[in-house]
Amino acid sequence: MLDVRDLNVTIGGHAVLKRVSLHVDAGERVGLIGASGSGKSMLVKAVTGLLPRTARVDGGLNIGGKRIDTMDDAELADLRGRYVGLVFQNPGAALNPVLTVEQQVCLPLCLHYDLDADERHDRAMTMLERVGLPPRLAGAYPHELSGGQQQRVGIATALITSPRLIIADEPTTALDAIVQRSIIDLLVSLVESAGASMLFITHDFAVLSRATTRCVVIDSGRVVETGGTEDLLRNPGEPATCALVRAAKLLTLDTGVGAGVDMDGTARMDTNRERQHG
Protein backbone atom coordinates (compact mmCIF):
# COMPACT_ATOMS: atom_id res chain seq x y z
CA MET A 1 0.00 0.00 0.00
CA LEU A 2 2.71 2.47 1.09
CA ASP A 3 6.37 1.59 0.81
CA VAL A 4 9.16 4.03 1.69
CA ARG A 5 12.71 2.73 1.27
CA ASP A 6 15.91 4.47 2.32
CA LEU A 7 14.39 7.89 1.76
CA ASN A 8 16.73 10.89 2.00
CA VAL A 9 15.38 14.43 1.79
CA THR A 10 17.67 17.47 1.85
CA ILE A 11 16.40 21.04 1.84
CA GLY A 12 18.80 23.97 1.53
CA GLY A 13 21.72 21.72 2.42
CA HIS A 14 19.94 20.47 5.58
CA ALA A 15 19.19 16.72 5.70
CA VAL A 16 15.63 16.51 7.08
CA LEU A 17 15.04 12.79 6.40
CA LYS A 18 17.88 10.26 6.55
CA ARG A 19 17.49 6.75 5.15
CA VAL A 20 13.87 6.51 6.34
CA SER A 21 12.12 3.21 5.61
CA LEU A 22 8.58 2.30 6.53
CA HIS A 23 5.67 0.41 5.03
CA VAL A 24 1.94 0.21 5.53
CA ASP A 25 0.33 -2.98 4.28
CA ALA A 26 -3.23 -3.35 3.02
CA GLY A 27 -5.71 -2.93 5.87
CA GLU A 28 -2.99 -1.95 8.35
CA ARG A 29 -3.01 1.07 10.70
CA VAL A 30 0.52 2.28 11.32
CA GLY A 31 1.65 5.20 13.45
CA LEU A 32 4.54 7.57 12.80
CA ILE A 33 5.55 9.18 16.06
CA GLY A 34 8.24 11.73 16.87
CA ALA A 35 8.88 14.93 18.76
CA SER A 36 8.42 18.36 17.19
CA GLY A 37 10.90 18.89 14.35
CA SER A 38 11.71 15.18 13.99
CA GLY A 39 10.59 15.09 10.35
CA LYS A 40 7.00 13.77 10.47
CA SER A 41 5.52 16.48 8.25
CA MET A 42 8.44 16.14 5.81
CA LEU A 43 7.64 12.46 5.42
CA VAL A 44 3.95 13.25 4.78
CA LYS A 45 4.98 15.85 2.20
CA ALA A 46 7.37 13.40 0.54
CA VAL A 47 4.76 10.65 0.18
CA THR A 48 2.13 13.06 -1.15
CA GLY A 49 4.45 14.91 -3.55
CA LEU A 50 4.16 18.19 -1.63
CA LEU A 51 7.82 18.84 -0.80
CA PRO A 52 9.25 22.23 -1.79
CA ARG A 53 10.62 22.15 -5.35
CA THR A 54 14.07 22.90 -3.97
CA ALA A 55 14.10 19.64 -1.98
CA ARG A 56 16.57 16.95 -3.06
CA VAL A 57 14.98 13.52 -2.78
CA ASP A 58 16.39 10.05 -3.26
CA GLY A 59 15.20 6.61 -2.24
CA GLY A 60 12.11 4.52 -2.97
CA LEU A 61 8.60 6.01 -2.65
CA ASN A 62 5.71 3.78 -3.72
CA ILE A 63 1.96 4.00 -3.15
CA GLY A 64 -0.23 1.15 -4.37
CA GLY A 65 2.74 -0.22 -6.31
CA LYS A 66 3.30 3.07 -8.20
CA ARG A 67 6.45 5.17 -7.90
CA ILE A 68 5.63 8.66 -6.65
CA ASP A 69 8.94 10.35 -7.42
CA THR A 70 8.50 10.00 -11.18
CA MET A 71 4.90 11.31 -11.30
CA ASP A 72 4.11 14.70 -12.84
CA ASP A 73 1.88 17.27 -11.09
CA ALA A 74 -1.34 15.99 -12.73
CA GLU A 75 -0.63 12.39 -11.73
CA LEU A 76 0.19 13.46 -8.17
CA ALA A 77 -3.02 15.49 -7.89
CA ASP A 78 -5.00 12.49 -9.12
CA LEU A 79 -3.22 10.20 -6.64
CA ARG A 80 -3.99 12.60 -3.76
CA GLY A 81 -7.60 13.00 -4.89
CA ARG A 82 -8.56 9.39 -5.49
CA TYR A 83 -6.16 6.99 -3.89
CA VAL A 84 -4.96 8.85 -0.79
CA GLY A 85 -7.19 10.69 1.69
CA LEU A 86 -5.49 13.39 3.76
CA VAL A 87 -6.74 14.51 7.17
CA PHE A 88 -4.94 17.56 8.52
CA GLN A 89 -4.02 18.84 11.95
CA ASN A 90 -5.99 22.05 12.13
CA PRO A 91 -9.40 21.58 10.53
CA GLY A 92 -10.27 25.26 10.99
CA ALA A 93 -7.36 26.20 8.73
CA ALA A 94 -7.68 23.20 6.39
CA LEU A 95 -11.32 23.90 5.48
CA ASN A 96 -12.13 26.57 2.92
CA PRO A 97 -13.95 29.34 4.86
CA VAL A 98 -16.19 30.34 1.93
CA LEU A 99 -17.48 26.84 1.14
CA THR A 100 -20.42 25.23 2.93
CA VAL A 101 -19.98 21.81 4.51
CA GLU A 102 -21.61 20.11 1.53
CA GLN A 103 -19.54 22.07 -1.02
CA GLN A 104 -16.39 21.22 0.95
CA VAL A 105 -17.16 17.49 1.07
CA CYS A 106 -18.10 17.45 -2.64
CA LEU A 107 -14.90 19.17 -3.77
CA PRO A 108 -12.84 15.98 -4.37
CA LEU A 109 -15.76 14.53 -6.36
CA CYS A 110 -15.96 17.70 -8.50
CA LEU A 111 -12.21 17.62 -9.14
CA HIS A 112 -11.67 13.93 -9.78
CA TYR A 113 -15.00 12.33 -10.80
CA ASP A 114 -17.56 13.00 -13.49
CA LEU A 115 -20.79 12.89 -11.46
CA ASP A 116 -23.96 14.95 -11.79
CA ALA A 117 -25.03 17.34 -9.01
CA ASP A 118 -27.73 14.99 -7.62
CA GLU A 119 -25.29 12.13 -7.29
CA ARG A 120 -22.69 14.34 -5.61
CA HIS A 121 -25.36 15.59 -3.20
CA ASP A 122 -26.48 12.05 -2.35
CA ARG A 123 -22.90 10.91 -1.72
CA ALA A 124 -22.14 13.95 0.41
CA MET A 125 -25.24 13.47 2.58
CA THR A 126 -24.42 9.78 3.07
CA MET A 127 -20.87 10.72 4.04
CA LEU A 128 -22.07 13.37 6.51
CA GLU A 129 -24.28 10.78 8.18
CA ARG A 130 -21.33 8.34 8.40
CA VAL A 131 -19.18 10.91 10.19
CA GLY A 132 -22.01 11.75 12.58
CA LEU A 133 -23.01 15.18 11.28
CA PRO A 134 -26.75 16.00 11.05
CA PRO A 135 -28.12 16.95 7.58
CA ARG A 136 -28.96 20.47 8.81
CA LEU A 137 -25.22 21.26 8.92
CA ALA A 138 -24.79 20.65 5.16
CA GLY A 139 -25.38 24.36 4.51
CA ALA A 140 -23.22 25.61 7.41
CA TYR A 141 -19.87 27.36 6.98
CA PRO A 142 -16.74 26.22 8.86
CA HIS A 143 -16.85 29.14 11.33
CA GLU A 144 -20.32 27.98 12.43
CA LEU A 145 -18.97 24.58 13.56
CA SER A 146 -17.13 23.38 16.66
CA GLY A 147 -13.55 22.08 16.28
CA GLY A 148 -14.79 18.49 16.49
CA GLN A 149 -17.48 19.11 13.86
CA GLN A 150 -14.89 20.77 11.61
CA GLN A 151 -12.66 17.72 11.86
CA ARG A 152 -15.64 15.48 11.02
CA VAL A 153 -16.03 17.55 7.84
CA GLY A 154 -12.29 17.08 7.20
CA ILE A 155 -12.68 13.31 7.57
CA ALA A 156 -15.76 13.26 5.31
CA THR A 157 -13.83 15.22 2.66
CA ALA A 158 -10.87 12.83 2.91
CA LEU A 159 -13.04 9.71 2.65
CA ILE A 160 -15.64 10.77 0.04
CA THR A 161 -13.59 9.25 -2.81
CA SER A 162 -13.13 5.93 -0.95
CA PRO A 163 -9.32 6.18 -0.86
CA ARG A 164 -7.30 3.04 -0.13
CA LEU A 165 -4.81 4.90 2.09
CA ILE A 166 -5.67 7.53 4.70
CA ILE A 167 -2.85 9.77 5.92
CA ALA A 168 -3.90 11.48 9.13
CA ASP A 169 -1.38 14.19 10.09
CA GLU A 170 -1.92 14.98 13.80
CA PRO A 171 -5.70 15.01 13.23
CA THR A 172 -6.61 15.50 16.88
CA THR A 173 -3.86 17.82 18.15
CA ALA A 174 -6.10 20.88 17.99
CA LEU A 175 -8.98 19.20 19.88
CA ASP A 176 -9.75 18.66 23.57
CA ALA A 177 -9.23 15.19 25.07
CA ILE A 178 -12.85 14.01 24.91
CA VAL A 179 -13.34 15.15 21.31
CA GLN A 180 -9.94 13.63 20.43
CA ARG A 181 -11.16 10.25 21.56
CA SER A 182 -14.38 10.35 19.53
CA ILE A 183 -12.55 11.57 16.41
CA ILE A 184 -9.92 8.81 16.67
CA ASP A 185 -12.61 6.16 17.20
CA LEU A 186 -14.54 7.52 14.21
CA LEU A 187 -11.47 7.45 11.94
CA VAL A 188 -10.54 3.92 13.02
CA SER A 189 -14.06 2.57 12.48
CA LEU A 190 -14.40 4.23 9.05
CA VAL A 191 -10.96 3.04 7.92
CA GLU A 192 -11.69 -0.49 9.19
CA SER A 193 -15.13 -0.73 7.61
CA ALA A 194 -13.71 0.49 4.28
CA GLY A 195 -10.86 -2.06 4.48
CA ALA A 196 -8.47 0.85 3.88
CA SER A 197 -5.00 1.44 5.36
CA MET A 198 -3.93 4.34 7.56
CA LEU A 199 -0.70 6.15 8.36
CA PHE A 200 -1.38 8.12 11.54
CA ILE A 201 1.10 10.85 12.48
CA THR A 202 1.35 12.16 16.02
CA HIS A 203 3.72 13.11 18.84
CA ASP A 204 1.36 11.55 21.42
CA PHE A 205 1.66 7.86 22.37
CA ALA A 206 -1.70 7.91 24.17
CA VAL A 207 -3.39 8.87 20.89
CA LEU A 208 -1.33 6.36 18.92
CA SER A 209 -2.30 3.42 21.13
CA ARG A 210 -5.95 4.06 20.33
CA ALA A 211 -5.43 4.52 16.60
CA THR A 212 -2.78 2.04 15.49
CA THR A 213 -1.40 -1.45 16.01
CA ARG A 214 2.16 -0.86 14.83
CA CYS A 215 4.34 2.21 14.93
CA VAL A 216 7.56 3.78 13.73
CA VAL A 217 9.51 6.20 15.94
CA ILE A 218 11.37 9.01 14.19
CA ASP A 219 14.00 11.26 15.74
CA SER A 220 16.08 13.95 14.00
CA GLY A 221 15.01 12.64 10.59
CA ARG A 222 15.90 8.99 11.30
CA VAL A 223 13.79 5.95 12.18
CA VAL A 224 15.11 4.88 15.59
CA GLU A 225 12.65 2.15 16.59
CA THR A 226 9.69 0.20 15.23
CA GLY A 227 7.32 -2.30 16.84
CA GLY A 228 3.81 -3.03 18.09
CA THR A 229 2.31 0.18 19.49
CA GLU A 230 1.29 -1.33 22.84
CA ASP A 231 4.62 -3.09 23.06
CA LEU A 232 6.66 0.10 22.52
CA LEU A 233 4.39 2.02 24.84
CA ARG A 234 5.02 -0.42 27.67
CA ASN A 235 8.66 -1.18 26.90
CA PRO A 236 10.34 1.63 24.96
CA GLY A 237 13.95 1.02 24.05
CA GLU A 238 15.45 4.14 22.50
CA PRO A 239 15.85 7.44 24.40
CA ALA A 240 13.54 9.24 21.92
CA THR A 241 10.81 6.62 22.46
CA CYS A 242 11.26 6.80 26.25
CA ALA A 243 10.81 10.57 26.17
CA LEU A 244 7.58 10.27 24.14
CA VAL A 245 6.22 7.55 26.46
CA ARG A 246 7.09 9.61 29.50
CA ALA A 247 5.23 12.59 28.04
CA ALA A 248 2.15 10.41 27.43
CA LYS A 249 2.39 9.04 30.97
CA LEU A 250 2.53 12.51 32.48
CA LEU A 251 -0.43 13.68 30.44
CA THR A 252 -2.79 10.72 30.82
CA LEU A 253 -2.21 9.75 34.48
CA ASP A 254 -3.05 6.25 33.26
CA THR A 255 -1.04 3.73 35.26
CA GLY A 256 -1.12 1.24 32.38
CA VAL A 257 0.52 3.70 30.03
CA GLY A 258 4.30 3.64 30.02
CA ALA A 259 4.58 0.88 32.61
CA GLY A 260 7.99 0.04 31.14
CA VAL A 261 9.48 3.47 31.58
CA ASP A 262 10.45 5.29 34.73
CA MET A 263 9.32 8.85 35.23
CA ASP A 264 12.79 10.10 34.34
CA GLY A 265 12.33 8.50 30.91
CA THR A 266 14.70 5.56 31.44
CA ALA A 267 13.66 2.28 29.82
CA ARG A 268 13.30 -0.84 31.95
CA MET A 269 14.84 -4.13 30.81
CA ASP A 270 12.82 -6.04 28.25
CA THR A 271 14.11 -9.02 26.29
CA ASN A 272 10.88 -10.35 24.82
CA ARG A 273 10.46 -7.87 22.06
CA GLU A 274 11.88 -7.65 18.61
CA ARG A 275 13.24 -4.22 17.84
CA GLN A 276 14.50 -2.72 14.69
CA HIS A 277 17.04 0.01 15.10
CA GLY A 278 17.55 2.53 12.33
CB of 127 to ligand ATP, least distance (A): 28
CB-wise, 14 or 143, nearer to ligand ATP?
14
Chosen residue from 21, 41, 100, 103 binding ligand ATP by CB under 6 A: 41
CB of 85 to ligand ATP, least distance (A): 19
Dihedral angle sign, alpha carbons of residues 143, 175, 91, 39: positive
Chosen residue from 31, 39, 85, 227 binding ligand ATP by CB under 6 A: 39
15 part of the interface to ligand ATP, by CB under 6 A: no
255 part of the interface to ligand ATP, by CB under 6 A: no
135 part of the interface to ligand ATP, by CB under 6 A: no
Count of residues near ligand ATP by CB under 6 A: 14
Non-local (6+) Cβ contacts of 243 within 8 A are: 35, 265
| β 14-24/2-11 pair status | antiparallel
94 part of the interface to ligand ATP, by CB under 6 A: no
How many of the other CB atoms lie within 10 Å of CB of 192?
Answer: 12
247 part of the interface to ligand ATP, by CB under 6 A: no
| DSSP per-residue string spanning 116-133 | -HHHHHHHHHHHHHHTT-
Chosen residue from 24, 30, 34, 260 binding ligand ATP by CB under 6 A: 34
**Rounded distance, CA 57 to CA 60, Å?**
9
**Rounded distance, CA 35 to CA 155, Å?**
24
Which residues contact ligand ATP (rule: CB under 6 A)? 11-12, 14, 16, 34, 36-42, 52, 203
